[in-house]
């Protein structure tokens, strides 16, 4: 089946309505479907929140016409906001901890934004503080603050969630997604639970991250390489509502790295480590539904592949695990 899109007026009109593709296909398995978010114009899931947050903030006057947004970001949100900012006449400044990929920072600059780096050791909390400090020094500057802004999750409640349910005609047994800000999972989960309160909701994070502790599980805090998901700092997990989540699954870096290679080689998906972590968690959930260990309302699992591996080639994502500079 091919759908032909009508011509559209702006790049902003190409955000969302991404493909939902069956992965791990095997006839006797419970199907897993992944939303391919690299099909967005800025090539990640974060285009959705860039467009949604800026449009809402311009509408309600939080962001003045011609104003500036200053945002702490690992990169994809910067690109998503920069795509929207450029088309909506808004200036953009991004505060990015040094460890994040240079490709992303180059793309933010290419889209007309200014990038400010903060030391890796200060973490995302340091970038958040710096963004507020920069905004205070400017007139007309606003910090959307994806880590605490409900509009982040609202974007997924309004778009990603309905798209998944429409594509699967409402037959969604479980939703599984990586949590960085947790906006993606919270928005999809809120929508899914309204459609069916029995939908099984699974958060995914790297081993060593602390979302599990918010759900009452143990987790030893440890550094990890998987990029874009996980939390080490309470300032980055404010959107996460444990009440909406049935379980938190941790994926070790080594497994995510191997799954990145497998997804490319066997399934043709050029996706990065957070997608690989989601893929493994979704497959495990599908296996438990198949084996009768997990009671889900339908025999299907939906997940999200947030971005593409092209963005991490400089970090050796397709090299061996030890030299992967995640």
- 274 has catalytic annotation: yes
213 touches 201 (CB < 8 A): no
Give the one residue of 47, 227, 253, 255 binding ligand PMP; rule: CB under 6 A. 227
Interacting stretch for ligand PMP, rule CB under 6 A, among 163-171, 180-188, 193-201, 216-224?
180-188
Under rule CB under 6 A, residue 285 binds ligand PMP: no
Contacts of ligand PMP in 55-84 (CB under 6 A): 74, 76
CB-wise, 67 or 97, nearer to ligand PMP? Answer: 97
Task: For 272-319, give the secondary structure using H, E and C.
Answer: CHHHHHHHHHHHHHHHHHHCCCCCCCCCCEEEEECEEHHHHHHHCCCC
Under rule CB under 6 A, residue 307 binds ligand PMP: yes
Under rule CB under 6 A, residue 303 binds ligand PMP: no
d(CA 246, CA 294): 11
Nearest distance in Å: CB 37, ligand PMP? 9
- Encode 278-303: b = buried (16+ Cβ within 10 Å), e = exposed: bbbbbbbbbbbbeeeebebbbebbbb
Instruction: Give the H/E segment covering residue 237.
Output: none
CB-wise, 209 or 219, nearer to ligand PMP? Answer: 209
Number of residues that bind ligand PMP (CB under 6 A): 16
Under rule CB under 6 A, residue 259 binds ligand PMP: no
Interacting stretch for ligand PMP, rule CB under 6 A, among 83-91, 178-186, 242-250, 317-325?
178-186
CA dihedral 87, 92, 94, 100 (to 10 degrees): 20
Known catalytic residues are 46, 274
């Amino acid at each position: 089946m091919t759908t032909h899109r009508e011509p559209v007026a702006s790049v902003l009109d190409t955000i969302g309505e991404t493909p939902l593709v069956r992965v791990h296909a095997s006839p006797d398995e419970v199907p897993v479907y992944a939303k391919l978010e690299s099909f967005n114009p800025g090539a990640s899931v974060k285009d959705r929140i860039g467009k949604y947050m800026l449009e809402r903030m311009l509408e309600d006057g939080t962001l003045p016409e011609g104003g500036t947004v200053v945002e702490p970001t690992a990169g994809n949100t910067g690109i998503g906001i920069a795509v929207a900012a450029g088309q909506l006449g808004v200036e953009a400044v991004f505060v990015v901890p040094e460890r994040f990929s240079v490709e992303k920072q180059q793309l933010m600059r290419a889209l007309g934004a200014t990038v400010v780096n903060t030391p890796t050791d200060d973490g995302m909390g340091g970038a958040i503080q710096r963004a507020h400090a920069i905004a205070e020094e400017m007139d007309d500057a606003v910090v959307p603050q994806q880590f605490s802004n409900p509009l982040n999750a609202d974007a997924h409640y309004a778009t990603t969630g309905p798209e998944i349910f429409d594509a699967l005609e409402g037959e969604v047994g479980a939703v599984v997604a990586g949590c960085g800000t947790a906006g993606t999972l919270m928005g999809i989960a809120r929508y899914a639970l309204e459609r069916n309160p029995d939908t099984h909701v699974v958060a995914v994070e790297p081993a060593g991250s602390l979302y599990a502790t918010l759900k009452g599980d143990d987790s030893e805090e440890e550094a990890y390489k998987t990029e874009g998901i996980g939390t080490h700092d309470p300032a980055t997990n404010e959107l996460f509502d444990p009440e909406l989540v049935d379980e938190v699954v941790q994926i070790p870096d080594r497994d995510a790295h191997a799954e990145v290679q497998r997804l490319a080689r066997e399934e043709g998906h050029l996706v990065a480590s957070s997608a690989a972590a989601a893929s493994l968690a979704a497959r495990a959930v599908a296996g438990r539904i198949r084996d009768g260990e997990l009671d889900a309302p339908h025999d299907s699992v939906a997940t999200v592949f947030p971005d593409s591996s092209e963005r991490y080639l400089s970090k050796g994502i397709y090299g061996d695990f030890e030299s992967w500079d995640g």
